[in-house]
Structure 1
Amino acid sequence: MAKALTLDTTLSNSSVDDRDILLLVQTVRAGIKYPLFVKIASQSPFNLSEWSVFLHLSERTIQRYKKEKKTFDPIHSEKILEVTLLYKRGIEVFGSPENFNAWLEAKNVALGGITPKSLLDTTFGISLLKDELTRIEHGVLA
Structure 2
Amino acid sequence: MAHTHALDIVGGESALGISIRSGRDLIAAVRHGLPVKAVEHVLDTGRMTLAELDLVVLPRKTLSHRRKIGTLTADQSDRLMRAARVIAAAEDTFGSKEKAATWLRRPTTALGDETPLFLLDTSEGALQVETLLGRISHGIAA
Q: TM-score range by the shorter chain?
A: 0.7 to 0.9
TM-score w.r.t. length of structure 2? 0.80
**Is 2:44 the partner of 1:42?**
yes
SS for the counterpart of 1:107 is: coil
RMSD: 2.4
Q: CA deviation at 1:121?
A: 1.0
Mark the runs of 5 or more structure 2 residues left unpaired by the alignment. 1-6, 14-20
Normalised to the residue count of structure 1, the TM-score between the two structures is 0.80
1:32-76 residue CA offsets vs partner (Å, 9 max, x unmatched): 111232123323431122111112x3211111221x133111011
Matches of 1:123 and 1:64, distance apart in 2: 25
> Residues 26-105 of structure 1 correspond to what in structure 2 (within 5 A)?
26-55=28-57, 57-66=58-67, 68-105=68-105
Q: 1:102 to 1:11 in 2, by over 3 A?
A: closer
Aligned length: 130
Whole-Å separation in 2 of the counterparts to 1:88 and 1:46: 12
Residues 1:91 and 1:69: Cα distance change in structure 2 (over 3 Å): same
1:102 deviates by: 1.1
Uncovered stretches (5+) of structure 1, i.e. residues with no partner: 1-7
SS at 1:60 equivalent:
helix
Distance in 2 between the 1:121 and 1:9 partners? 21
How far did residue 13 of structure 1 move? Answer: 4.4
1:102-113 matched pairs, under 5 angstroms = 102-113=102-113
